[in-house]
Amino acid sequence: MKTGKLVVYAVIVAALAGIVTLITDVMQAAGIITTDASLTFITFICWATYFVFGANLKGAWSAFLGFIVGIVAAILMFVLAGQFAGMGMNVGLVAIPLAVFILVIFMLLAEKLPYFNNVAAIFLGTGMFFGLMGTPAIGATGYGTVFLGELIYAAIGFAAGWLTVWIRGAVERSGATS
């Protein structure tokens, strides 16, 4: 892309980033998930992820389904670690590592599940869930709310990724600055 068109593209995508941030800030102010902490970072992670998983809707859908498996695995890790801790196991040295060990086996076996087999997305979904649960105001809302919140913000990020590709194509096809 020539410099003039690249500048036009950059300005439009920057405006999109501002709009995405505004939308997620308004969602936070409205109490979607919590008013005490922002989930905007999930949107931007998923915006980048859109490109990592092929920059198309099929890849985004595959990643989204993988996130679901990853979030379920993360929740089960929390529950299982709690069970192990309740049995007297040291939380940091035994309960959490053992729960992670067990669930990662199943996360990798998901490779055999039709539609839910994007292992990279599974791990990404798990990691984002851990990050969200580590923010007290978010974690306090409960597993179900955080599950839903991660997916809502991920969908916004994937939509922004799709729009970025669409904008680039439109700018490249346009008669705008050459």
Q: What digits encode the pLDDT tens for the residues 17-58?
A: 999 999 999 999 999 999 999 999 999 999 999 999 999 999
Two structure tokens written together for 18: 């501002």
Asked if residues 9 and 171 have their Cβ atoms less than 8 Å apart, the reply is yes
For the chain, which residues make up each domain, given as ranges? 3-173
Q: What local confidence, expressed as pLDDT, does residue 177 receive?
A: 56
Q: What local confidence, expressed as pLDDT, does residue 119 receive?
A: 96
Q: Encode pLDDT of 132-169 as tens digits.
A: 999 999 999 999 999 999 999 999 999 999 999 999 99
Q: What local confidence, expressed as pLDDT, does residue 57 receive?
A: 95
Q: What local confidence, expressed as pLDDT, does residue 176 receive?
A: 57
| 145 Cβ contact list (under 8 Å, min separation 6) | 33
Taking the CA atoms of the chain, what radius of gyration do you get in angstroms?
19
Least confident segment among 53-62, 107-116, 169-178: 169-178
Asked if residues 132 and 70 have their Cβ atoms less than 8 Å apart, the reply is no
| 45 Cβ contact list (under 8 Å, min separation 6) | 124, 128, 157
Burial class (CB in 10 A: 0-12, 13-18, 19+), 161: buried
Q: Encode pLDDT of 84-107 as tens digits.
A: 999 999 999 999 999 999 999 999
Q: What local confidence, expressed as pLDDT, does residue 175 receive?
A: 77
Query: What's the rounded Cα separation, in Å, for the pair 82 and 72?
Result: 15
Two structure tokens written together for 81: 């670690």
DSSP per-residue codes, 10-48: HHHHHHHHHHHHHHHHHHHHTTSS-SSS--HHHHHHHHH
